[in-house]
Amino acid sequence: MSDAPVVDELTPPDRTLMGPGPSDVHPRVLRAMSTPLVGHLDPSFVEIMNEVQELLRYAFRTDNRWTIPISGTGSASMEAAIGNLVEPGDTMLVPTNGYFGGRMQSMAERAGGEVVHVDAPWGEPLDPADVEAAFDEHQPDVFGFVHAETSTGVRQPNVPELTRIAHEHDAYVIADAVTSLGGVELRVDEWGVDVAYSGPQKCLSCPPGASPLTLNDRAMDKVLSREERVRSWYLDLSLLEGYWGDDRAYHHTAPITNVYALREALRLIAEEGIEARWDRHRRVAGALKAGVEAMGLEMNAPDEYWLPSLNAVRVPDGADDGAIIGYLLDEYDLEIAGGLGDLAGEIFRIGCMGHSARPKNVTYLLSSLGDALGAQGADVDADAALPAMTERLAD
């Protein structure tokens, strides 16, 4: 046997996180994470669970009883939504206009579903007329869409219209709200969304580990009357009901520290007010947008479906996106990301989420990006960014 490995004390670099997630974690959330543990069935923890559920309902704008954090990252709440709703033989309609529609497809297929598509180019939202046509053609049982497509910086508008179409065809609607919850207007009940899932490390500014999920009674009735058991034991909502429902019986050990973190992150939302928080994201990301546009860069999405929490900025001609992203990380400890799929090499993805959606971060981003582009020889007017940003913030 070898000797015990000698590993240095943990000292990761001090990054500013403005990529597609994780975002900067609020110091109060970090402090909550050093709170001593209690047992996951401790009466005090049951109280904390109730509070988290209540705070989640507030953030989702829902009265759904079935509003819980799923243990795991956003993909776990995503798989809980799809894996429980989609039964073998069901048809699920998924979008092709971004990376996460593809993940929806993989999950629906693993659940035994048939997948059909509604198309739009990467970088554009779904057109309700196309959704209607897909419903007429395929009569899907479940329709999934991505409210805030992190891979393209597109916000899906017209959500109430999409849910109306689905309900006229007796289908269930699943919304991916991973990059919208707590950052972009989202009204689960008013908009008729049957199931919505999210993640903690985007606009909630919380570390990954406990991921919000909400289902209305209609959706939960479908889950509880399934003929075949859900294929994942861990994510089976009929079993999780025993833990998050009235019984509070053991299913698995909740990630207690992550639940503490989520509670504090949600408390920050309640203090700020959810609508004020949506406004802050629009205002601060709007200043970021004004800054990059003043530099001479172009946003990939027009205003009608611009996504404040994830800004897709076109890479200027002749610039190398990878070199710029690397320069920002090396010189400024600043994280942004490049494009994926059809938009690889075409866009920068700049997050403006939660605790990162602050003028301080935007100032830093604009001045660092201006320097990085200049160092690459890109033809931009870096000096114009900050005045445009300040002017927009003063509006």
Ligand X SMILES: *Cc1c(COP(=O)(O)O)cnc(C)c1O
Nearer to ligand X among residue 64 and residue 150 (C-beta): 150
Question: Residue 308 and residue 282: Cα distance in Å, rounded?
Answer: 6
> Of 2-10, 31-39, 69-77, 162-170, which part binds ligand X (CB under 6 A)?
69-77
Contacts of 382 (CB under 8 A, 6+ apart): 295, 367, 370, 371, 373, 374
Q: Does 16 bind ligand X (CB under 6 A)?
A: no
Q: Does 95 bind ligand X (CB under 6 A)?
A: no
Shortest spacing between CB 61 and ligand X, in angstroms:
19
Q: What's 126's DSSP letter?
A: -
Nearer to ligand X among residue 118 and residue 372 (C-beta): 118
Q: Fill in the per-residue mask, 121 to 150: x = in contact with ligand X (CB under 6 A), - = not in contact.
A: -------------------------x---x
Question: Residue 312 and residue 304: Cα distance in Å, rounded?
Answer: 14
Question: Is the preceding omega at residue 95 within 30 degrees of 0, hence cis?
Answer: no
Answer for which of 178, 203, 261, 334 binds ligand X (CB under 6 A) is 178
Q: Is 188 exposed, middle or buried (0-12, 13-18, 19+ CB in 10 A)?
A: buried
Nearer to ligand X among residue 80 and residue 294 (C-beta): 80
Residue 179: CB atoms within 10 A of its CB come to: 30
Tokens of 70: 């799923």
Tell me how far CA of residue 362 lies from CA of 193, 265, 384, 389, in angstroms: 33, 21, 14, 8
Residue 317: CB atoms within 10 A of its CB come to: 7
> Of 38-46, 124-132, 172-180, 291-299, which part binds ligand X (CB under 6 A)?
172-180
Question: Residue 305 and residue 124: Cα distance in Å, rounded?
Answer: 8
> Of 70-78, 130-138, 286-294, 378-386, which part binds ligand X (CB under 6 A)?
70-78
Answer for which of 208, 308, 338, 339 binds ligand X (CB under 6 A) is 208
Nearer to ligand X among residue 180 and residue 216 (C-beta): 180
Q: Does 186 bind ligand X (CB under 6 A)?
A: no
Shortest spacing between CB 116 and ligand X, in angstroms:
20
Contact positions vs ligand X (CB under 6 A)? 21, 73-75, 78, 100, 146, 150, 176, 178-179, 199, 208
